[in-house]
Every structure is written in structure tokens, then in C-alpha cells.
Structure 1
Amino acid sequence: MKPVTPSHKYIWCCLFAMVLLGACDSIWRKEQPKALARVGEKYLYTADVIALMGKNLSKEDSASFVTNYINNWASKQLLLDKAKINLPEDKLADYDALVADYRTDLYTRAYKEALVQQVNDSTVSKAQIESFYEKEKENFRLKEMLVKLRFVALPKDFLNKVEVAERLKNFGEKDRIVLDSISVQFRKTSFNDSIWITASRIIDEIPPLTFENVDKQLKKSQFLNLEDDNGVYLAKILDVRPVDDIAPLSFIEPTIEQVLLSRRKLDFIRKLETEVIDEAIKKKEFEIYETDKNNKRYEDE
């Protein structure tokens, strides 16, 4: 029996199909990324560098940035290759494990944060803050003195110091209006006497005060009239909370709010981790293998 040989027509059809497929491949093939540099089998592509460049760089700055980036990239790759060759195997294994752990932590932390943001309730009620404050009062002992006061810093050559001092002491409605109207002549002002301020901040604002004399100078109902080379400092002390006293709620409230929000976040993450494990166990995606008391399983391995 003679072997069957393909006809000329069949051969031409095959060749035509191959050419057609080649043409289609050239049409639909994606443009290959442009490489800027190569180290061994690793390539640095233009797109990688462009993504890091600032939009407002000049041509000269752009060229300098690209050159420096290529050199830094090449240096890292070459040193990495040498490290893999010259470092002991056990060290490489340790570093690979650290990298894997870091990668896992990075991904899982980002995922947890994304879930927290989705269900995040950033509101804390006044009642929750007050309840926490009452329970934890002893943990809010002051590390430094707190003061309520109003004060002004005047230029040394200011003419109406006496009037300003009297109005600052009285601080009725008319006094406030007058002081506000001339406040552009003052060096510094603080008329909000309802908030607590730390002694260290007051010392920064009133240089004649120091940590050595602050206890004597800052007393409730006292009026300060201090002076240095830069000017005159007038202050009316309304209230004082000494060191080791319990911090007032109005001062500690922002801290309590952050503590409660942090606890809420931690509770959510703990619940999430527990639910993930429970779900995996139900789906038989996670198993813990029992071992005997002598850890025979591990010894055998």
C-alpha cells in the first residue's frame, strides 16, 4: 500500500494558515516593556522609574533622577546576588523567613485596617467617656501642674499697662470688648480662661516663669505682673491643679476618647481573628493535628 502524500493544495492551505496566524499574532501581541537596565536575569523597566518621578521635574533633573535610580538599583541587585552567594545557608534561610513574616504581617495588617475602616464607628458618647473616667480616675494622676488663666504680653514701651491690667482682672463684657479692640497692640494674648493649660506651656509663653518658681507664682486667684528684656507679662490665675492631683475630665477627655476607640478597634480585630479561624475549621480548611505527650510525632520527623 502506497503512503498517502499530501496534495499541493493541502500544503498551500497549511502555509496560508500559518502566515495568517503569524500576522494575527503580530497584530495582537502587546508591546514589550522597554528596559532601562539589566543585572543578570533582572530588568529595570521604564515604567518602574516613571512611576517614581515627580511631575514637576525639569529635563535635567529627570535625567539625573533616572541615572541615580539606575545606579542605585544596579548596586542593590549586584550586592544581593553576592550576598546570596557568600552568606551562609542558615543565614539566608533566617532572612528569607523574616522577609516572609514581614510580608505576611504587611498584608494581614492592611486587610485588617481596611475591614476596620468599613465598620469604623468613630463616635464616643459623653456617657461612655464619663463612665470610663469614673472607673479609671486613679490612672489619671497629673505629671505636671495645670492652670486656667488669661494673659497678655505687652511691648515694654506700652503706655496703658495699668488699664490693661485692671481690665484683665475684672474681665467683664465691656472689658473683653476693649481688650479685643486693642489686642493688635499686644505681643501675645490668651483670653480663653475655660481650658486647662500645662505649666510647661505657660513657661514657654511667659519666660520670667521657670520650673523653679512656677509653684510660687501660679496660685489660684493670683495676678502676675512680670517683666523681662522683651516685654511685660500680665496674667490672672483662675484655677490650679497641682502635680499628682486627678486630671480634670475636660483636660483628659481627648485621651479617653482615643483609648476607647483603640479598645474598640482591638476588640473588633480579636473577634475577626476568632471568626476567621472558626470559619476555616467548619470548612475543613484549617486543622490542628494532635500529638502525644512525648511529642513523638515531632521526634519521628
Structure 2
Amino acid sequence: MKKKKNVYLRLLKSKVYLLILAGALSSCENTGKRIGRDADDRLVASVGSQRLFSSDLEFLSAKITPGEDSAKFAERYVQNWIRKQLMVQQAEKNKSIDPAELERKLLDYKYALMVYEYEKDYVDQNLDKDVPYEEISAYYNQNRENFILKEIISRVNFFKLEKQLPQNKDLERLLKSNRDNSKEIRELAQRYASNFFLEDSTWVKFDEVTQNTPLAGHPNKVQLLKSNDFYKVEDEEFAYYFKILEFKLADQVPPMDFVRDEIAKIILNKRKVSLADQLHKDIYSRALEKNEFTIHD
């Protein structure tokens, strides 16, 4: 037993390892029914009459992530293959399995997969992926209550600067000013900020803006937003500035811009379903016109 195990490990560390590194892409799992194998196509594992050869492992090269140990990856695959073959053999001994029923289910699965692939290709080729603003707006207005927020969102300007920078005072003065200082603020942020978010029209989750800042652990962010539209907080190294432009609380309806991408996906999915349904109807109608099927009494 020990000798067989050593041979198995050598195969994994030599032939299998080299095949994976070579990056060859060909066959996947095989049960030993192929003929005409190369002379150096070594047997890696067997379970009963089923055989797994080194060439059957070539496809693994495409599945290995950078930095992953290819030999260990191959070993896991071989172990999984063995377990699956053992389960198959055990299942074959189960007298309660009806071979005819199993064959029917296999055919049903095969036909369903063929139809799915055909539908997918048809939809991909015929789908109109352009979703105009008017259509998104109409869907939003008809389904506003379906987009109730589960968390706070906001339009906010955020800045993170090193505490000792003299520009901190300039930024605070500009943010507190009632004048339009957007150009000056952007220039200052680009030159001195370690991080900043300055997108006045963009709605974002408030927790994402406050993440990794002293406000992240604030016990009552609702009260925080309602109390003031400007906050400055500090830690040992940095000063953080928040200019709250607008916010929406959980359980409120978000603005359309916040859910625009989500609505576009919903509309596209509806189009896909409609295309597939129409495909079925068209195929049936054509077959009916050409008398391509018969219903027998």
C-alpha cells in the first residue's frame, strides 16, 4: 500500500505538475474509454474499471489562480474524482434506482440544456441593450415602493488630510462658506488630500463614506445627519471633513439616480424573458403552419 501511495505522489509531483505548468488545455474528466493514448500518458488513479490519466488533468491549468500550489490543486482534483467514482459505484448498486427512469431524466436534462443554450444565443443576438432614460424614469415612477432603502444614503463631499497641513484651515473655511467654492475646493483636495470624494450629484451609502474614519462607530447617524451639514473629526494622524449635501434615511424611497443601474438591469431581464417567450411562440406558429407536428388520438 505504501509503495502504491509513493507512486501516486510521484505522478502528482512530476507528470501532473509539469502538465499544469505547461498551460495545456484539452480534455476534462475521462473514464478510461478513450483509445490511442500517448505512450507517456500515465495512469494517475483508478476506481474499479474507471481510469484517470495524466492527460485528463491538462484542463486544470486554466483553473489555477496565481500563487496557488498547482500540485496541491491537482491532488485535490484527483481525490474528488476518486470520491465521485466511489459514489457512482455505490449508487449503481442501489436496486431502487430505475434505469429507465434515470435515462428519461438524463434525456430531459440534455434537451433542457440544448434549449437553454439555443435560447441564450438567440437572446444575446437579438437583445436591445439600450435602456433610455425615459424608460427608466417610467419604471421608477410606477414601482417606487419596490425600492425602499434599507440603509442611509447621501450626497456628501469628503476629505481626508494630514492634521499638520496648514491647508486644513483653508479647506474648512471654504466648506463653511456660502459661496460656490467648488473649483478651489477641488484644486486643494487634488493637491493635499490623502483621500477625497467630491461628486455632488452622486448618491452613496453613508456607511461607505464614513468607513475607516472616526465617524464609523457613531451610535446615531440619523441624528448626526439631522443635526448639522458639516463635520470635522480627527484621529492621531488625520483630519476628516464631511459636507452633507442631502440624505435619505432607511425606509424612505431613494432618488432615481441611486437605483438607475438596478432598474436598467430589471428592464433588460424583462426583455430577455419576453424574447425567449416570443421565440417559443414563433417556433410553434411556424411548425403549425407547415404541419410539422401531429397530435394523435
TM-score of the two chains, using structure 1 as the length reference: 0.68
Alpha-carbon distance between aligned partners in 2 of 1:46 and 1:267, rounded to the nearest angstrom: 46
Does the alignment pair 1:145 with 2:152? yes
Structure 1 alignment gaps of length 5 or more = 1-30, 291-301
2:124 — aligned with what?
Answer: 117
In 1, Cα distance between the equivalents of 2:295 and 2:232? 74
For the 8 Å contact 1:148–1:239, the answer to whether it is kept is: yes
Partner of 2:94: 87
1:44-77 Cα deviation digits (max 9, x unpaired): 5665443444599xxxx98988787667656644
1:167, distance to aligned residue in structure 2 (A) = 2.1
Does the C-alpha gap of structure 1 residues 76 and 193 become closer, same or farther in structure 2, counting only changes over 3 Å? same
What amino acid is aligned across from residue 36 of structure 2 in structure 1? Q
3-state secondary structure, aligned to 1:147: strand
Measure, in 2, the Cα distance between the counterparts of 1:67 and 1:236: 55
| Cα deviation code 1:119-156 (max 9, x no counterpart) | 12110111111221222223232222221111112234
Structure 1 residues 279, 126: CA separation in 2 closer, same or farther (over 3 Å shift)?
A: same
Does residue 32 in structure 1 map to residue 36 in structure 2? yes
Partner of 1:244: 251
Cα offset for 1:246? 2.2
Aligned to 1:256, what secondary structure does the other structure show?
A: helix
Give, in whole Å, the separation in 2 of the partners of 1:140 and 1:176.
34
C-alpha spacing 1:209/1:47, structure 2 compared with 1 (3 Å): closer
Residues 97 and 158 (structure 1), Cα distance of their counterparts in 2 relative to 1, 3 Å cut: farther
Count of matched residue pairs: 253
The one of 167, 171, 194 equivalent to 1:164 is 171
Once the two structures are TM-superposed, the CA of residue 271 in structure 1 deviates from its matched residue by 0.9
Q: How does 1:187-202 map to 2 (within 5 A)?
A: 187-202=194-209
> How many Å separate the matches in 2 of 1:268 and 1:32?
46
Deviation digits for residues 18-57 of structure 1, max 9, x if unmatched?
A: xxxxxxxxxxxxx93446547666565665443444599x
Report if the CA contact (8 A) 1:138-1:246 is conserved.
yes
**1: CA distance, partners of 2:255 / 2:204:** 11
Aligned match for 1:232, one of 232, 239, 246: 239
Q: 2-side partners of 1:168 and 1:177: how far apart?
A: 11
Cα shift at 1:182: 2.4
Give the SS at the match of 1:182. Answer: helix
In the alignment, the residues of structure 2 paired with residue 250 and residue 129 of structure 1 have an alpha-carbon distance, to the nearest angstrom, of 10
Q: Which structure has the larger Rg over C-alpha atoms?
A: 1
Unaligned runs of 5+ in 2: 1-34
SS at match of 2:226: coil
Q: Could you give the per-residue CA deviations for residues 170-203 of structure 1, whole angstroms, max 9, x where no partner exists?
A: 45155235414523xx332111121111222223
- Which of the numbers 185, 201, 223 marks the counterpart of 1:176? 185
The answer to whether the Cα contact below 8 Å between 1:223 and 1:234 also exists between their aligned partners in 2 is yes
Distance 1:197 1:40, change over 3 A: closer
CA distance in 2, matches of 1:267, 1:53: 39
Distance 2:125 2:71 in 1: 43
- 43, 47, 50: which one pairs with 2:58? 50
Kept in 2, the 8 Å contact 1:145–1:198? The answer is: yes
Check 1:173–1:44 CA distance in 2 against 1; reply closer, same or farther (3 A cut): closer
CA distance in 2, matches of 1:276, 1:151: 57
Indicate the SS of the match to 2:185: helix
CA contact (8 A) 1:155 1:231 kept: yes
**Change in CA separation of 1:69 and 1:232 when aligned onto 2, cut-off 3 Å:** closer
TM-score (norm 2): 0.69
In 2, Cα distance between the equivalents of 1:69 and 1:118?
Answer: 36
Q: What SS class does the counterpart of residue 142 from structure 1 fall into?
A: coil
User: SS of the counterpart of 2:281?
Assistant: helix
Once residues 257 and 129 of structure 1 are traced to their aligned partners in structure 2, the CA distance between those partners, rounded to angstroms, is 6
- Cα distance in 2, alignment partners of residues 71 and 134 from structure 1: 55
* Corresponding position of 1:253: 260
